[in-house]
Each structure stands twice: as structure tokens, then as C-alpha cells.
Amino acid sequence: MKTTTTPYDVAEHLRTPEEMAAYLEACIEEADGDAAFIAKALGDIARAQGMTQVARESGLSRESFYKALSGERSPSFDTILKVVTALGLKLGASVRSEAEMS
């Protein structure tokens, strides 16, 4: 008997701004400094909201927007900030615990 699988698309499960913020926060924690990983997470959130609308609100061309959030390259911090703002999210900072620094 064969097992049937279907592709999992996280964008289909990001329904509320709170879910999107929690997803981005979790991805930032797991990224280990990989900006392309964070860009891909932002792309997932943008797909959940509608890529065309978010691209327009970010002020980036659609082509640049897709490339920046593909996860294949590390976009500039300026681009990350534009996308985060267009998504209605904000970045924050907190102090790492002693255990996290070890």
C-alpha cells in the first residue's frame, strides 16, 4: 500500500497577524544568522497576505520582491525592513539569556 502525501504550504496556515508574527519570530530564532532563511519566511507570510499587494506596499518592483524573498539569496536589510513594514509587522530586540549565549 502506498502512502499518499501532499505538499505542505505554511502560507495556507498563516491566517492572522498574530500567527504571522509568531511564525516570523520562530524563524528568526531558528535562522542561526541565515538571512536567506528569514527572507524565505517573509516570503511565506507575503504569500499568505497576497504577494502582489505586499510588493506594491513595500515599494519594490514585483520581480525584485520575488527574488528578495525566494530564499535563494540574502536581501539587504533595507529590503527586509520595507517588507516587514508592508506586512504590517515590526521587528524587535531582546536580551539573550546566559543559556542562549552558550
pTM for the whole thing?
0.87
Torsion of CA 51, 88, 35, 79, to 10 degrees: 70
pLDDT of 39 over the 90 cut:
yes
Residue 68: which residues within 8 A CB-CB, separation 6 or more? Answer: 39, 60, 75, 79, 83
- Rounded distance between C-alpha atoms, residue 69 and residue 76, angstroms: 11
- Rounded distance between C-alpha atoms, residue 46 and residue 49, angstroms: 5
Collapsed DSSP state (helix, strand, coil) of residue 96 = coil
Assign a CATH topology to domain 15-90. 434 Repressor (Amino-terminal Domain) (1.10.260)
List, for residues 8-30, the tens digit of each pLDDT value.
Answer: 999 999 999 999 999 999 999 99
Write down the pLDDT at residue 57.
Answer: 94
Find the helix packing angle between 77-86 and 35-49, rounded to 10°.
20
Q: Where are the domains of the chain?
A: 15-90
Portion of the chain with pLDDT greater than 90, in percent = 76
pLDDT mean over 51-65:
92
